[in-house]
Amino acid sequence: MNEILIKKTTDFFQKKFNSVADKVILSPGRINIIGEHIDYNDGYVLPAAIDKIICFAFEKNNTTTANISAIDLDESVVIDVTKDTELSDAVWTNYLRGVLLQLKLKGFEVGGFNCSFSSNIPTGSGLSSSAALECGFLYGINEMFNLGIKPIDMALMGQKAEHWVGVNCGIMDQFSSVMGLENKVIKIDCRTLDYTYHDANFVNYSLILFDSNVKHSLFTSEYNVRRIECTEGLGILKANFPEINSFRDCTEEQVVSLKSKMTDKVYRRSLYAVKEIKRVILACAALDKGDIATLGKLMFETHDGLSKDYEVSCEELDYLVDLAKAEEVVIGSRLMGGGFGGCTITLVKKGSEEAIKEKFTKLYKEKFNIDLKIYDVKVSNGTSIYIN
């Protein structure tokens, strides 16, 4: 499938710019096994890059303008790379402008270039197409102008670009897009950015993404509110337990002991963060042992916390997880990513995949009159240069 995307992108480039692309970059979306909304809470996360990608074609043009075409949107933009950039109404361009701004802020000088890109990462599904856009774009510029930016710094600059666009996100998405490895999940310590790779081996279970096909507009505002609520909760914890620096250092008991000092929301957000950090450690150990039953149980617990305490789920996602819970052949399921729509990640016993897909599609349609979308994904390499 990606070969088709690559051809589409390079053919377009050739027609549009009348020249063969010099660099072709592939930048993936991501899944996350467990560890949701704790990358910005000093937690651990367990994501992986996937085989859904954005393909970019690039070449330098010896001017000071970047001519960029979003093939799928049939839109183009011209940006003067020497000028300060501002947010635009063409939202897709902002992720790229954000990257150019980060380069400028770090003192990198880049010249003009031509670029076209095309994607097969569904947008609004919680698969981090925006991180893929930022990281692939930056990777290409880094290659063209030999800037020598290290992969982790690319992830950090991508994250800053996303902040500039308006989502005060953690590091998980950009990190996994850049650092992914085939058949490996990455356990990232979001406090230190240390990371280890673990086999993405779900033994006799298959990983399936069920896309609710809804994206509630609350996402950006509520995401940023969650961060503020967590900061408030942590502040109260710190004030009462001087040894605490982050949710990583907290016990559930400490949070419970301060219930009366917190608003109900701040209390529940804090409790969720502390519990989720612990769950990721247990889940990663279970994965290493091939104990998919424990991993699945933890995934269900995460969903419960995201839905009831962190309140980032929605009716559609809760329904999909309830359907999963009712099936003996499903061992774990939860909403994935920021929430308020997008996908659930679900582990289904090998051999039962098609029956479950069919059943969920039918029941989901009956309940919401919405077509369920389904993705089988492969755990794949991070952002890389394509050499044919």
Contact between 211 and ligand GLA per CB under 6 A: no
Q: How far is the CB of 37 from ligand GLA (least distance, A)?
A: 4
Q: Please give, one letter per residue, the 3-state secondary structure of 245-291.
A: CCHHHCCHHHHHHCHHHCCHHHHHHHHHHHHHHHHHHHHHHHHHHCC
d(CA 100, CA 24): 19
By the rule CB under 6 A, 47 interacts with ligand GLA: no
Least CB distance to ligand GLA at residue 93 (A): 19
Among 9, 26, 36, 302, binds ligand GLA (CB under 6 A): 36
Work out whether 169 is an interface residue with ligand GLA (CB under 6 A).
yes
Residues between 328 and 357 that touch ligand GLA (CB under 6 A) = 337-338
Q: Which stretch binds ligand GLA (CB under 6 A): 33-41, 208-216, 235-243, 295-303?
A: 33-41
CB of 287 to ligand GLA, least distance (A): 18
Q: How many residues bind to ligand GLA according to rule CB under 6 A? A: 11
Q: Say which of 39, 42, 51, 173 is annotated catalytic.
A: 173
Rounded distance, CA 88 to CA 168, Å? 18
Q: Put the strands of the sheet holding 23-32 in their side by side order.
A: 75-80, 65-70, 113-119, 47-60, 23-32, 384-385
Q: Residue 376 corresponds to which tokens in the numbers above?
A: 């089988």
Strand 65-70 vs strand 113-119: parallel, antiparallel, or unpaired? parallel
Torsion sign over Cα 209, 75, 159, 226: negative
At 49 the three-state DSSP class reads strand
Say whether 173 is catalytic: yes
Residue (28 or 338) nearer to ligand GLA, CB: 338
Of 90, 85, 69, the closest CA to residue 16 belongs to 69
CB 32 to ligand GLA: min, Å: 6
Work out whether 37 is an interface residue with ligand GLA (CB under 6 A): yes
Residues involved in catalysis: 173
Footprint of ligand GLA (CB under 6 A): 36-37, 39-40, 128, 169-170, 172-173, 337-338
